[in-house]
Copies of this chain bind each other. A is one copy, B any other.
Amino acid sequence: MPGEVIDRPNPEPLPSNVPDSVRDLAVKLDKITLPENVNASLKEFRRAACYIAAAMIFLKDNVLLERDLTFEDIKPRLLGHWGTCPGLILVYSHLNYLIRKHDLDMIFVVGPGHGAPAILASLWLEGSMERYYPQYSRNKQGLHNLISGFSTPGGLPSHINAETPGSIHEGGELGYALSVAYGAVMDKPNLVVACVVGDGEAESGPTATAWHACKYINPKESGAVIPIVHVNGFKISERTIYGCMDDKEMAALFTGYGYQCRFVEDLEDIDADMGNSLEWALREINKIQQAARYDKPISKPRWPVIILRTPKGWSGPKKVEGEFIEGSFRSHQVPLPKAKSDETQLKDLQKWLESYRADQLFAKDGSPTDNIRKIIPEKDEQKLGQNPVAHDPYRPLKLTDWQKYSVKKGGEMSCMKAIGEYLDQSLVDNPTSLRIFSPDELVSNKLDAVFRHTGRNFQWDEFSQFQGGRVIEILSEHCCQGFMQGYTLTGRVGIFPSYESFLGIIYTMMVQFAKFGKMAHEVP
């Protein structure tokens, strides 16, 4: 038996043996077609962003295809991940529309951070690149710099990092987007964080447990996450677990995790499907938040989750050398790896790029057309790349003199107990900007003095729901670290005490976080 042969693109999951009644757990919505001009704008934004993203992977010159491509135009080393980009761009376009329509305060946490081309292209279109990097101005020269410089020395990185406007999460090691998103909304009642989770990433332990994080969100004091699971069915070279689960299995799983689950998968009119579903998600969030804020909190609210099923590498090459690319793992990275030396692949690249009709999307000077701009948020601070929540949000804590908590010379006290006292006072003094995340070790770490004025914040527990406790104790070092990162990178202070021996569990997360922090400081 050789490695399995997948005989068609975008294969559907096998039917499960789960009872059919479970199908009703998936949310049904009336199909409302979007206004024609919105539809057109969304589609043009996407064509432009997909064009730029694809060009970034391949072109070092001739970035607007003003003449036929030659081998000379192709980068010497082709780097970048195409497969995830069309889905990320689909989401980006709709978030833009949603922000505009509802005047939202929103940021975007992107799990598949290897999809940097998608995000950088969208940021360029909305003007967030030029805002921070004048070399990426919204004109021909800026576009040339963006495309030709991507993934080359001195140019833009292949993964989302601290240099990416609006990002609070480093790409690379997968699994932490969701917990970071949940940390970011805590104590930000008006913030909505859209979070894309890859179906590959979803197989990681840290993500698998982070779904429970909704149970630690008090809708009175905190904002909301809209998780969007991007089920494009493939990882680097194998199918994904979620991609092989049918509607019933997925609906059961997410119901169990605490969500209402909506599938977005109408490839014929994906805009209506995505638009209606995001509207629904916002409505559900509003319902939950309003109830909590007007003293009629819903116990165990079922938050919305969106399961987005689109082909991997959608709109890219369909077949290369007889093999499926679109809707297959082969679109994960560079779909035309021989574009620099093979005539056919070069031609395929030209055809692919031409399919987006860049001439209709960019004005003579290279800037995006008005039609595209019409779905981009008007106010700069509402653009996903410029929301102040992700830029310089830090407000120092109010801290009392630590010396008050010391003992007299010659006296004795457990230093952890002293720290507990100090934290107790600090939590009192900073009721909405200091939190403690602990893997159920607060008491055993002798920090329980903090419970003098606060409690735990576990909404599924009758004894601590609705009360605004400042402590979350979940037996997941990954969640604790992720919450801490999201909370801290949006300007507040999260503390994650742990046994030293168990800190190694999240050693690589700490390294990634430290790197992010260091780079963030170095970015102008």
Contact = CB atoms under 8 A, between A and B. Distances in A.
Contacts of A4: 455-456, 461, 463-464, 467, 469
B458 A239 contact: yes
B6 A463 contact: yes
Given A205-B476, A452-B2, A236 B504 contact: no
Contact of A249 (B22, B200, B258, B474): B258
A173 B504 CA distance: 10
A474 B174 CA distance: 13
A9 B48 CA distance: 61
Given A6-B463, A22-B25, A508-B504, A476 B203 contact: yes
B200 A440 contact: yes
Nearest to A199: B475
A14 interface: yes
Contacts of A204: 205, 209, 475-478
Contacts of A15: 299-300
A368 B16 CA distance: 48
Contacts of A468: 1
Contacts of A22: 22, 25, 252, 255
A460 interface: yes
Give chain A's interface residue range (CB within 8 Å of chain B): 35 or more
A5 B463 contact: yes
A443 interface: yes
B461 A239 contact: yes
A458 B454 CA distance: 47
Interface string A7-21: 100010111111101
A521 interface: no
7 nearest CB pairs, A to B: A253-B256, A205-B205, A3-B451, A252-B256, A208-B209, A208-B208, A4-B463
17 contacts: A1-B468, A2-B453, A2-B455, A4-B456, A17-B298, A17-B300, A22-B22, A173-B502, A175-B205, A201-B475, A205-B206, A208-B208, A236-B444, A249-B258, A252-B255, A253-B253, A504-B511
